[in-house]
Amino acid sequence: TLDGMTAVHAVRAFWTALAGVPGVVRADVQMGTAVVEHDGTVTRAALAEAAALVGCTIREWREERALPTL
């Protein structure tokens, strides 16, 4: 969950910023939330830095781990 995301522009900007984070495989960014799929090397700090680039902060962080699909 993200704070500070108040416009559609911020949604697009955060999605674009996530593209610059090594290890991010896929991202679904909506107003105030984001679901990020990554290769396991991405840290909360890297995602927080990407959020800060667009004026947002991470309010809530939930991590789910799954086995790879073949």
> Please, which pLDDT band fits residue 3 given cuts at 50, 70 and 90?
very high
pLDDT in tens, 10-59: 999 999 999 999 999 999 999 999 999 999 899 999 999 999 999 999 99
pTM of the model: 0.84
Which amino acid is it at 5? M
11 contacts 29 by C-beta, under 8 angstroms: yes
Evaluated on CA atoms 60, 46, 34, 8, the torsion sign reads: positive
